Structure 1
Amino acid sequence: MGERINPPGGGSGDGIEPINLREALEERYLAYALSTIMGRALPDARDGLKPVHRRILHAMRLLKLDPGTAFKKCARIVGDVIGKFHPHGDQSVYDALVRLAQDFSQRYPLVDGQGNFGNIDGDNAAAYRYTEARMTEVARLLLDGIDEDSVDFRKTYNEEDEEPVVLPGAFPNLLANGSQGIAVGMATSIPPHNAAEICDAALHIIANPDCTTRDLVAHVPGPDFPTGGIIVEGQASILEAYETGRGAFRTRARWIQEDTGRGTYQIIVTEIPYGVTKGRLIEKIAELIIEKKLPLVADVRDESTEDIRLVFEPKSRNVDGALLMESLFKLTELESRIPLNMNVLLKGKIPKVVGLKEVLREWLDHRREVLVRRSSHRLSVIDKRLEVLAGLIIAYLNIDEVIHIIRTADVPKQALIARFELTDVQAEAILNMRLRSLAKLEEMELRKEHGELSKEKEGIEKLLASEALQWKTVSWEIGNVKKQFSKETPLGKRRTTFAEATEVDVDAFAEALVEREPITVVVSEKGWIRALKGHVQDLSALTFKTDDRLKVSFFAETTSKLLVFATNGKVFTLEGSKLPGGRGAGEPMRLMFDLEQEHDIVDVVQFKGGRKALVASREGKGFVVAEDELVANTRKGKGVMGVDQPDELACVRFVEGDHVAVVGENRKLVVFPLNQVPEMSRGKGVRLQKYKGGGLADVKTFKLADGLTWKDSSDRTWTVSEKDLIEWLGNRADAGKLPPKGFPKNNKFG
């Protein structure tokens, strides 16, 4: 048991090298991170492709799967990709191939698929032994000129073959089809755009190299998703996103309201936001309906065929369609924020977040480099051919002598070179010449070809010598792409539109569910509430609990909100539609919200919005508050007036006029201007009237010019004119004087 075990390889273990774990982890993780960033997750800014997509297209080119040719099994394509270029799992390569063929994933598909390539419901594609594929015209454009030394090639992983480092990329694929990827420590998310718009922006950069992002956004107003939809992001936000390379686009589903007769309707959604799986979306909506989180929606059905058609039935005919959709936008993926994080590889090596102008500049510089390289390659081909043609023309001019040398010389090649001062290539071409090409016409053909090639050479040399001419040629190429994918074509037509987001009041959601009907609200002294149907004038027949009687009643509607003021300075909100019916005595309001036993209800009023209220406490303090500040959203209510016991909230009066009249329990009256009372959203308030004993009895606001009115115990109305009120006019916090003759003994204004 005590025997020492040596490490593999035998020996004494002297070959073991101790290393620092932290350094080893850092080094290895950095290598992994770099390989993920460079070789897997981030697209190249020049052709907009990640390595796996580039390898798929290259393999399809080698299989001669050009547009219009016969389809080949996807299994064959995947086999070639993983066998020659991409030593990874077959499923990951097939998934990438499938995505390139999906017209709801790619704005301009690179692969033309035959068979089941999945759908927007989220169903997977059929296995690769069943499906077939070939390239589209877009893929052909990306590869155009690849065999003309336009791009660099490198050895594949096993060094048996070669693969392109980048594709020539005549199509603006990065922005047109977008890209998503998660690397290590960074990610990319580029939504699809309209190719014709990108070409317009690129042409604008060539014509105006110093242009701004704002100029480019005039050409590229925003993404163009394959699934359509409506972008409701603001212009300033879109501009900032394209300027910085980071942002998001708020996108909504497209919908119409379809009339179903007799005042009923249904909502039809015809386009959903990009990247949303329809099957999962409907499941989520159905769950929300069951959980009663979408109270405006009665049902959802999927009636889609090839086109999307989601049908939403409203809960009732009174529900506003825009309101129903707003609730769906708020809670479901019918509204999505599609991120923009333009993190790309510049020159195929540097990961960087770039703006719209920089990413287009990178593509344009690549297109110019491809043009120069293709032109140089063509020039070398022409030079070789011209050399051969010059030799063949010499041979035709001296055909008899050439034949004689070939027949008699021991080494015909050397003899020809010596006699006619030919190059090795020219002598070889003469010796390989066929007898049938000795016809007289052939010499004319050679001279014609020589002339055409010489002219072409001159044009290419001019092009290579002039940067302006190079940019002109690049513009011409981009113009052709723009024409091919113009907005007049079915593929190039813009699918996503722009609109302003309609902001709907959240409170309107609940109201939309309620049938609008008149009610009469009845509140008793002991705090019981009920709602009688209709507007009832005569309440004499109403019955109350023992020792209880009518406190307040008013006309309202089922959609109304009621504000309930309590002595502790809190305000509670009740919904008119949720009040108990008028058959019995109603229900105590204490059960409807959280009010402690030691506090009472001061007043109940209908919320109308936009008004101002004067709140006053028993000790004579008060302030003005906006009615909109009084609405409470919870059972706990909203603390408005701070009162310390034994003080309590005593009066609430809606402001009418320019003066305040305050009467105390000591039967003293003071009148002062309303502007002496501050407006606050909450607080303890300021002193309205000064007392030696007792407290505030009542308060009223009125227009001084109209005089002060009150009702006596016999229900007669008394009015004291402005000039007769002189002796009671004073300032806030005055003690006041005994009221005029005829003022009620209960110290109330009535």
Structure 2
Amino acid sequence: MTQVTIEDELRKSYLEYSLSVIIGRAIPDARDGLKPVHRRILYAMHELGNYYNRAYKKSARVVGDVIGKYHPHGDSAVYDALVRMAQEFSMRDPLVDGQGNFGSIDGDAAAAMRYTEARMSRLSSEFLADLDKNTVDFRDNYDNSLQEPSVLPTKVPNLLLNGTSGIAVGMATNIPPHNLGELIDGTTHLLDNPDCEISTLMKFIKGPDFPTSAMCFGGKGLEEAYHTGRGSIKIRGVLNIEERKNGMESVVITEIPYALNKSTLVEKIALLIGEGKIEGVSDLRDESDRNGIRIVIDLKRGSIADIIINQLYKFTQLETSFGINMMAVVDNRPVLLNLKSVLQCFLDHRREVVIRRTRYDLEKSEKRAHILEGLRIALDNIDEVVRIIRASKAAEEARIGLMERFELSQPQAQAILDMRLHRLTNLEHEKLLEEYAELLKRIEYFKSILEQEEVLKGVIRDELAEVKKTYATERKTKLMGHDPNDIDIEDLIPDDEVVITLSRRGYIKRTPLSNYQRQKRGGKGIAGVSTRDGDFIHTFLTTSNHQHLLLFTSKGKMFKIKVHQVPEGSRNAKGAHIANLLPLEKDESIATALSMREFSDDYFFLFVTKKGMVKRSLISLYSNCRQSGIRAVNMREDDELITVKQVGADDEIVLVTRKGTSIRFSCHDVRPMGRVASGVKGIALRSGDEVVSGVVTGDEFRTQLLTVSEGGFGKRTNIDQHRTQTRGGKGIISMRVTDKTGSVLGAIMVSQDDEVVLLTSGNKIIRMSVGEVSLVGRATQGVRLVRMDENDFVAGFDLVIDDDELDSDLETEES
């Protein structure tokens, strides 16, 4: 008895199992691009005589032959493979011609195999051409009762033509389909230029060509796949905009990504419309028929088709990624191949097939020429041949006599004995001599193929050209070059100065700063944002397109987007709702907005809440922000975040309250805290009061505090009049609040050369110089900045920074 350890036995058994799955089921052969089940289906149809130019046969008969003779697995697995080989939406060039219900792109299953019929497609005949000429090796089937080919002598580079996918043990393969004409061109170029680069082959083989058409974004992912064997590409469906009656539009989907279930896609779009993620759709219907795909999405009046298209690409599988993994079996082992090695494997296979076929034809021709040579001798000496035959008592004696008299071989002598009398005519004699001469030429040609490499290449080249001429079709998939995500959209967007406005009800927009003209103090202003009744602008920010826009909510969360991602609107446009950009909760609103280019370790965020709490945290803690936002500060239930400021280590902060109180203290008094800390008390509020603004000092150019009230009053005060105090005190008077001035709206640091922009609840905007605002004492009410209609109030204001070009333009206008 032989003892073995269980570990060794398990290791050996699992290795054998994995190799069986890899080579015998899941991974295709690099030479013919077929898995064993597909190869056996084609061979079984070949043995049945089930060719493209003959009658169809029941699929059940084909499946029965496959599982009974070559593939001892379940009939459903074999039938599923046969069905896929016949589906035009699954195979770039189908290998089976099916008749009956072979499934649909909606995911409908094929009819039972007893109902459908099949035969080989015309292209698949090229897979089995010359199979009877000893071109490939045969092996025993599973019970050693029959022989089957180990590979097919295909003339088609099928591994890339129809692609494949499969999951084995510890590895997988996923190869996209390609265009036959491009593959033949690339293969021919490699045949003539064995040392060519992969980049050169990519000039011929430009990318995948899917049976469902669509658009393919290759770029770096495709280059990586063709050079290394692994990479990723994006596939997009094709959407068109069609005009309807009354000026309305429809978005029509005419092509979808490869392997996408159309019915599932329509259901997903309907679900998104129902959930409100895609707005502005009045109707959705599938008008697809035998002529092609047509999914129609009718839009409501005023809906922007481009936005709907972008949402479809974002939320559905109309844009999908295809991970390329070109794993195939080479010499009975799985190998990761690049584009060149895939084509080289096919060329090596073709070279071997042509050589073996030529040897077979040469041997057969030489045998026939040998016979004809004997017949020619016999015809030249026909009288003597007849005499020898008549004098012989038996056929054996006649054969020996002919062999001795004319120095013939046994096959030659036997051929003379088998020759019919009508071959003795002069006409038959001439035919025999012509056949013999033709055979000698063919023998020379066959020998030249075997002896001269260029002649061999010529044969392969001609056969490839014939395949291309007969079977190649136009490309279906449109190649779009680089992945749109590989292109930095900011390279296409100018870094212009813009104004970001956000209304109390959450409508946000981006407007070029040049749309606002400078005016004198006390003017009526120009028409600003168009808002609904009861809505007004509460956040007004000047920034530029390439900066990050940080949006802090009343509940202490932070969202980060690029400024250029905010929808652009005209000066009097309402804008888009913030819910289209951010996943806010129902009772959550944007408290403040901040813009910056980069997150530095040298600066801090200073958070200020309505209840007077403050917190200082490193800005770098907030650089990584999820799409769903992050917790910026931990808020108490009865408190709200009102503002966030960027501060340095030596800065000071001034908190201003609604009733005109302020406190100034150093940021050093607020120790640095973690991202989700609650903070410490900044000011002790009087009853009924709350903080409305937090202002950072320390700018050597801006040393004055501009305070603005809701009634349209404002004043400048030197910051030195606000003495530094200890954090947590009650503060001092910052502005005298009266019924005329209204409550304090906020405050900012300014210089005499600055400009400010004010917005009123009546949607008026006025731009004015800070120098026109009186410089007065701390405990005064200030002067009127803007005249408003009755019941209007100032809703927001902000500083205009570094707009020299705009100043020049406005001076030109005023002159």
**TM-score (ref. length: structure 1):** 0.73
Q: Quick one: which amino acid aligns to residue 260 of structure 2? A: V
Residue from 779, 784, 801 that aligns with 1:745? 779
Q: Which residue of 2 aligns with 1:592?
A: 587
**CA-CA distance at 1:590 after TM superposition:** 13
SS of residue matched to 1:322? helix
Please point out which of 443, 459, 462 is paired with 2:429.
443
* Preserved contact between residue 520 and residue 554 of structure 1 (Cα < 8 Å): no
Establish whether residue 246 from structure 1 lines up as the match of residue 230 from structure 2: yes
Paired with 2:202 and 2:531, the residues of 1 have a C-alpha distance of 50
Q: Alpha-carbon deviation of 1:442?
A: 1.2
- Could you tell me which residue of structure 2 aligns to residue 422 of structure 1? 408
1:706 Cα deviation after fit: 7.2
Q: CA deviation at 1:34?
A: 0.9
* Local SS of the residue matching 1:113: strand
Aligned residue number for residue 456 of structure 2: 470
Query: Measured at CA, do residues 155 and 742 of structure 1 come closer, stay the same or move farther in structure 2, by a change above 3 Å?
Result: closer
Partner of 1:403: 386
Distance 1:263 1:290, change over 3 A: same
- Change in 2 beyond 3 A, CA 1:96/1:662: same
Q: 1:87 aligns with which of 35, 51, 72?
A: 72
What is aligned with 1:149? 134
Which residue identity does 2:588 align to in structure 1? Answer: F
Question: Residue deviations 1:285-326, cap 9 Å, x none?
Answer: 333333444345454311111111111233x33332222122
Asked if 1:305 corresponds to 2:289, the answer is yes
Choose which of 342, 352, 360 in structure 1 pairs with 2:335: 352
* Aligned partner of residue 44 in structure 1, secondary structure: coil
Given the alignment of the two structures, is residue 31 of structure 1 paired with residue 80 of structure 2, yes or no? no
Map 1:650-689 onto structure 2 (within 5 A). 651=693, 659-663=701-705, 669-670=718-719
**Which amino acid is 1:480 matched to?**
E
- Matched residue of 2:404: which SS? helix
1:278-289 matched pairs, under 5 angstroms: 278-289=262-273
Q: Is residue 2:441 matched to residue 1:455?
A: yes
Residues 622 and 330 of structure 1: CA distance in aligned 2, closer, same or farther (over 3 Å): closer
Residue in 1 that maps onto 2:794: none
* CA distances 1:37-86 after superposition (whole Å, capped 9, x unpaired): 11111111111011111111111112222222222222222222222221
Q: Give me the whole-angstrom Cα distance separating, in 1, the residues matched to 2:268 and 2:502.
A: 41
**Distance in structure 2 (CA, Å) of the matches to 1:696 and 1:365:** 91
Once the two structures are TM-superposed, the CA of residue 620 in structure 1 deviates from its matched residue by 12
Q: Distance in 1 between matches of 2:421 and 2:412?
A: 17
| CA deviation after TM superposition for structure 1 residue 26, in Å | 2.1
Shift in Å, 1:337: 1.3
Distance 2:80 2:615 in 1: 74
Distance of 2:478 and 2:464 partners within structure 1: 23
Q: Specify whether residues 239 and 503 from structure 1 end up closer, same or farther in structure 2 by C-alpha distance, changes over 3 A only.
A: closer
Aligned length in residues = 629
Would the aligned equivalents of 1:229 and 1:253 in 2 still touch at CA under 8 Å? yes
- 8 A Cα contact 1:289 1:299, kept in partner: no
The letter of the residue matching 2:10 is L
Contact 1:258 1:268 in 2 (8 A): yes
Q: Distance in 2 between matches of 1:709 and 1:321?
A: 34
Look up the SS of the partner of 1:34 in the other structure.
Answer: helix
Q: Answer whether contact 1:592 1:635 (CA < 8 A) is retained.
A: no
Q: In 2, are the aligned partners of 1:107 and 1:192 still within 8 Å (CA)? A: yes
1:646 maps onto 2:681 in alignment = yes
SS at match of 1:659: coil
The answer to whether the aligner puts 1:53 opposite 2:48 as a matched pair is no
TM-aligned CA deviation for residue 441 of structure 1: 1.1
- Asked if residue 483 in structure 1 is aligned to residue 518 in structure 2, the reply is no
Question: Is contact 1:169-1:367 (8 Å) kept?
Answer: yes
Matched residue, 1:202 = 187
Q: Deviations over 1:150-185 (max 9, x none)?
A: 111112222222111111110111100001111111
Residue equivalent to 1:388: 371
**Counterpart Cα distance in 2 of 1:338 and 1:53:** 23
> Which residue does the alignment assign to 2:652?
none
RMSD over aligned CA atoms reads 4.6
Letter of the structure 1 residue corresponding to residue 587 of structure 2: M
Alpha-carbon distance between aligned partners in 2 of 1:199 and 1:354, rounded to the nearest angstrom:
18
Moved more, 389-398 or 205-214: 205-214
2:494 match = none
* Structure 1 counterpart SS, 2:133: coil
Distance in 1, Cα, partners of 2:246 & 2:596: 34
Unaligned runs of 5+ in 2: 487-500, 508-526, 540-550, 561-565, 567-573, 579-583, 598-604, 634-640, 646-666, 671-678, 684-690, 708-715, 735-745, 759-766, 786-815
* 8 Å CA contact retained: 2:93, 2:162: yes
Contact 2:90 2:211 in 1 (8 A): yes
Aligned positions of 1:182-261 closer than 5 A: 182-233=167-218, 235-261=219-245
Contact 1:213 1:239 in 2 (8 A): no
What per-residue deviation string (whole Å, max 9, x for no partner) do you get for residues 364-395 of structure 1? 11111111111111110111011000011011
Separation in 2, partners of 1:176, 1:65: 23
Say if 1:455 and 1:310 are closer, same or farther in 2 by CA, change over 3 A. same
Secondary structure of the equivalent of 1:39?
helix
Per-residue deviation at 1:476?
A: 2.1
Q: CA deviation at 1:258?
A: 1.5
Q: Partner residue of 2:162?
A: 177
Asked whether the 8 Å contact 1:258–1:266 carries over to 2, the reply is yes
2: CA distance between counterparts of 1:433 and 1:720? 121
Distance change in 2, residues 1:562/1:168 (3 Å): farther
Measure how far apart 1:621 and its partner are. 12
C-alpha distance in 2 between matches for 1:124 and 1:92: 13
**Cα offset, 1:197, TM superposition:** 0.7
Q: Residues of 1 paired with 2:346 and 2:151: CA distance?
A: 12
1:21 deviates by 2.9
- One-letter code of the match for 2:703? A
Q: 2: distance between equivalents of 1:92 and 1:167? A: 21
1:196 Cα shift?
A: 0.7
Does 2:372 correspond to 1:338?
no
Q: Is the 8 A contact 2:774 2:782 kept in 1?
A: no
C-alpha displacement of 1:562? 5.0
Structure-2 separation of matches of 1:127 and 1:244: 42
Offset from partner CA, 1:68-113 (integer Å, 9 cap, x none) = 2222222222222222221222221111111111111110111111
Instruction: Extract unaligned runs of 5+ from structure 1.
Output: 1-14, 505-518, 523-528, 532-552, 580-588, 595-602, 673-687, 711-716, 723-738
Task: Give yes or no for contact 1:660–1:699 (8 Å, CA) kept in 2.
Answer: no
One-letter amino acid of the counterpart of residue 651, structure 1: S
Check if 1:494 corresponds to 2:490: no
CA contact (8 A) 1:255 1:271 kept: yes
**1:241-279: CA deviations, max 9, x gaps?**
111111222111111112112232111111111111222
SS in 1 for 2:400: helix
Instruction: Specify the SS of the correspondent of 1:107.
Output: coil
| Equivalent-residue separation in structure 2 for 1:343 and 1:98 (angstroms) | 24
Normalised to the residue count of structure 2, the TM-score between the two structures is 0.68
Percent sequence identity over matched residues? 38
Name the counterpart of 2:355: 372
Q: CA deviation at 1:282?
A: 2.3
